[in-house]
Amino acid sequence: MSDRRGGGLRGDLKQRVKTGRGRTVSSKLWLERQLNDPYVARAKREGYRSRAAFKLTEIDERFRLLKPGQRVVDLGAAPGGWSQVAAAKVGSHPGASAPRGRVVGIDLLEIEPMPGVDFVTLDFLDPTAPGLLTEMLGGPADVVMSDMAANATGHKKTDHLRIMGLAETALAFAREILAPGGTYLAKVLQGGTEGGLLTDLKRDFSNVRHVKPAASRADSSELYVLATGYRGAEATDGPYRETEDGGEEDEAGWRP
């Protein structure tokens, strides 16, 4: 029912898409969601490459993980929305005042060039990737972030396992390139198999939390895991010993 109070028209103004030749029901629903998504419209207005830019912006506004002068790696960076936000936050764009940060994005897909970001077309699992990105950054990373998601199959359990696998491999990469005190941010899905990843994160980082920014669709099981205070490879790779209170710690006194 429409409401004409105030001289305006309010009501159900959602755009509908017809299922035509060559268009599946799933593609129709996806297109409708895009057309009616306020974050998609806002991204176009504000010049962002994707609506995902607002997810990182909201997380950063809450936890202040991106700071001027930092070195940042964006895994699975295409089309570049997260890299775009990071470049503005760390001051890697042309004309930024000191301290100047660095942002490197890596993806299997080629990405259109962007001021303040160096993109490389490469699988981050390639053995040469950690060394290459460290060289491009000019040193170890302060932040490794990933908004990667595997192509959906429609089977919830399968999709969950695939995205968790990406998060775990991204963490393995982060261990090779992060500086002590660094931050790891990655997309995950709720589904009951996060235990192993969280155990690894709690061993490797001083603080671990789940975050769901407002820009994440409410009907999605998407979450982000944010881990801060990386303890460094030497502190996390060694054996753990039993403590007096029944817990465990490594030789440096870090607890898993």
Give me the CATH number covering residue 193. Answer: 3.40.50.150
Same domain, 62 and 86: yes
**What digits encode the pLDDT tens for the residues 25-47?**
444 444 445 444 676 777 687 77
- The answer to whether residues 153 and 28 belong to one domain is no
Residue 159 and residue 86 share a domain: yes
- 6 domain-assigned: no
Residue 2 within a domain: no
Query: Domain check: are 24 and 137 in the same one?
Result: no
User: Is there a single domain that holds both residue 77 and residue 133?
Assistant: yes
Question: pLDDT tens across 200-212, in order?
Answer: 999 999 999 999 9
Q: Which of 67, 156, 187, 202 is catalytic?
A: 187
| Catalytic status, residue 187 | yes
3-state secondary structure string, the chain?
CCECHHHCCECCCCCCCCCCCCCCHHHHHHHHHHHCCHHHHHHHHHCCCCCHHHHHHHHHHHHCCCCCCCEEEEECCCCCHHHHHHHHHHCCCCCCCCCCCEEEEEECCCCCCECCEEEEECCCCCCCHHHHHHHHHCCCEEEEEECCCCCCCCCHHHHHHHHHHHHHHHHHHHHHHEEEEEEEEEEEECCCCCHHHHHHHHHHEEEEEEECCCCCCCCCCEEEEEEEEECCHHHHHCCCEECCCCCEECCCCCCC
> Are residues 67 and 19 part of one domain?
no
The confidence score (pLDDT) of residue 205 equals 97
- Give a yes or no: residue 80 inside a domain: yes
> Is 210 domain-assigned?
yes
Domain span at residue 21 reads 12-47
Decide which of 26 and 175 is more confident: 175
Which residues line the annotated binding site? 80, 82, 107, 123, 147
pLDDT at 89: 95
177 pLDDT more than 50: yes
223 in the same domain as 209: yes
- Asked if residue 178 and residue 189 are part of one domain, the reply reads yes
- In a shared domain, residues 107 and 226: yes
Q: Is 233:226 a contact under the CB 8 Å cutoff? A: no
Residue 5 lies in a domain: no
Rounded to two decimals, the pTM is 0.75
Residues 123 and 141 in one domain: yes
Q: Does one domain contain both 36 and 122? A: no
Binding-site annotation, residues for S-adenosyl-L-methionine = 80, 82, 107, 123, 147
Residue 56 lies in a domain: yes
Whether residue 256 is contained in a domain is answered as no
183 lies in the same domain as 245: yes
The 10s digit of each residue's pLDDT in 112-161 is 999 999 999 999 999 999 999 999 999 999 999 999 876 666 666 777 77
Q: Is residue 143 one of the residues assigned to a domain?
A: yes
pLDDT at residue number 43:
66
Query: How many structural domains does the chain have?
Result: 2
Helix axes of 195-204 and 156-177: crossing angle, nearest 10 degrees = 20
